[in-house]
Structure 1
């Protein structure tokens, strides 16, 4: 069963963020995953979300999502992510 990672993002440093995005794309290449959506917020329709960007990544299953998230390739990107943006990441299945 497919699993989905949803990230809600507030970028503080665009240059660092672009390096992070490039690193994520490279870390996803060797696995069965694809970015379904990446975009900027249009409006808060119910409630308030302080983050203004979102990404949705589809994985083959929850195990693959977990292996990617805990991989050395992705873990090495976390300090860059945390300097570049305020990010909330959630998985769904």
Structure 2
């Protein structure tokens, strides 16, 4: 049995500027690799079946463990993308342990 469980990051996204969002998205994959992060899912909301959910898009990333997820988020490579992200979209990022 592994010593640590995978961790997931879920991003709830409402895009404000498609061109800047494309630039941000293009930069993210290289920041994931050193931390063992991988894209699990990216999609646009089809319907809200229960409750209230304003975000139009969602992304799910998987990391080997919570320390890797936090290391990625705090890395200088990812931090450099945050100003573009903030101009491009309203984003809520939530980390989960499994």
TM-score range, shorter chain: over 0.9
Structure 1 residue 31: Cα displacement: 2.4
Larger radius of gyration: 2
1:29 alignment partner in structure 2: 33
- The normalised TM-score by structure 1 is 0.97
2:16 is aligned with 1:19: no
- The normalised TM-score by structure 2 is 0.92
Equivalenced residue count is 93
| Partner Cα distance (1:13, 1:26) in 2 | 22
Task: Kindly provide the CA deviation profile for residues 54-85 of structure 1, in whole angstroms up to 9, marking residues without a partner as x.
Answer: 00000000000000000000011111000000
1:83 alignment partner in structure 2: 87
Runs of 4+ in 1 over 2 A off after TM superposition: none
- CA RMSD, aligned part only? 0.7
| Partner Cα distance (2:86, 2:24) in 1 | 10
